[in-house]
Amino acid sequence: MDTEESEASEEFLLPRSRLANERLRAMIPGGAHTYAKGDDQYPDDLAPVISHGRGAHVWDIDGNRYVEFGSGLRSVSLGHAHPRVIEAVRRELDRGSNFVRPSVVEVEAAERFLATVPTAEMVKFAKNGSDVTTAAVRLARAVTGRARVALCGDHPFYSVDDWFIGTTPMSAGVPAATTDLTVAFPYGDLAATEELLTRYQDEVACLILEPATHTEPPPGYLAGLRELADRHGCVLIFDEMITGFRWSEAGAQGLYGVVPDLSTFGKALGNGCAVSALAGRRDLMEWGGLRHSGDRVFLLSTTHGAETHSLAAAMAVQATYVEEGVTARLHALGERLAAGVRDAAAGMGVGDHVVVRGRASNLVFATLDENREPSQQYRTLFLRRLLAGGVLAPSFVVSGALGDADIDHTVDVVAQACAVYRKALDAGDPTPWMGGRPVKPVFRRSV
């Protein structure tokens, strides 16, 4: 066997994880509670099942340690088991976690949130992002008396609820009548958005979008959306699930200085604890309260939305971000990582094929084929080599717990992966280095 064949057949095995994944699939549809965590997102038989995590590292049940990126789908931005967050959670657990009336912790958490996000006037907490984005849409419909929702079609996810899922390839079970009420506009194109609002004159309840993603908003774009929403009488909603804390402590709205009517936060808010927030203008939010003279809106009412330990975690996270300058650290770490990965890819002759994109605090990578088109096959090869090198990276989204040694190790592993990537490009076929079926996109119509 020559050297290339030896490298192509080299095995990195996870026998205990493979068996655990079989057990997961037998009991849980898809084998995971989040589609993005499914083993179909990883190379064949190389989906590690996690035992525990600390800081920027996780260990699988086979005993392997990894440098982890994208921790908890971007939710664990301070690192796993952060001492300040754990202490806050533990303190509240000893005092009870849920009561028949609001806890004083709810007052403190609301005050802390509104101080951190001063563009909002009221806030209501829930457990996940879908709860609060759907509440925002419902509120917009109630306030405007309109049924249509206009979402940015360039952004990948908003909610598990029908108003969004009906627009995806996984629309089975969503009535067409519901899907017909959702329309899409392109990011960064004010003219196209105005054309849509004119076409559906007085029908659109809201514009909902992530204020920024892998590219910066064009100059004047967010302010232009604000003006369009005002002129057409619809509600402007910023989905700040990702941009919250990673762009600034007050989210993208705090960084770019454009104030939405409503905004939604989650992910980094609890450093892995289940907490999300709907925030916005008082006159809108009060439609779901007790100081409104019109028909009440069933805004949010969740049994576990105000669990004391999750709210305590959120307060600890916000205090840590503000006092320790975490957002700046995330940007510095991301800039160092991006530069290293780009240099490694270029050095191996694949700089046009392994591409790092996004804001430094929210990096993703693209794997492109011989024609520079996105390729799941090359993504499979790349992920396989990263895993074998002890790097768990569905993205390159950093956490504040990473150290210089972690970045250096990751860049070294990326360089090794890129060397194999170059061989596959030269061969015109990544199959020998994939180790089985390709990884799959989350949103697809068939299994």
Single-letter code of the amino acid located at 39? D
Instruction: Report the distance separating Cα 174 and Cα 163, nearest Å.
Output: 9
Instruction: Report the distance separating Cα 108 and Cα 404, nearest Å.
Output: 36
- Going residue by residue through the chain, which has 447 residues, state the pLDDT in tens, using 9 for 90 and above: 234 444 444 678 999 999 999 999 999 999 999 999 999 999 999 999 999 999 999 999 999 999 999 999 999 999 999 999 999 999 999 999 999 999 999 999 999 999 999 999 999 999 999 999 999 999 999 999 999 999 999 999 999 999 999 999 999 999 999 999 999 999 999 999 999 999 999 999 999 999 999 889 999 999 999 999 999 999 999 999 999 999 999 999 999 999 999 999 999 999 999 999 999 999 999 999 999 888 889 999 999 999 999 999 999 999 999 999 999 999 999 999 999 999 999 999 999 999 999 999 999 999 999 999 999 999 999 999 999 999 999 999 999 999 999 999 999 999 999 999 999 999 999 999 999 999 998 888 888
Give the SS3 label for residue 291.
coil
358: left (phi over 0), alpha (psi -120 to 50) or beta: left
Cβ contact 378:424 at 8 Å = yes
> Mind giving me the DSSP string for 114-164?
HHHSTT-SEEEEESSHHHHHHHHHHHHHHHHT--EEEEETTS----SSHHH
Instruction: Report the distance separating Cα 233 and Cα 146, nearest Å.
Output: 10
Backbone CA torsion sign across 386, 387, 391, 396: positive
Which runs of consecutive H residues, i.e. helices, occur in 180-250?
190-199, 221-232, 243-246
Q: Which pTM value belongs to this model?
A: 0.95
Backbone CA torsion sign across 35, 39, 42, 44: negative
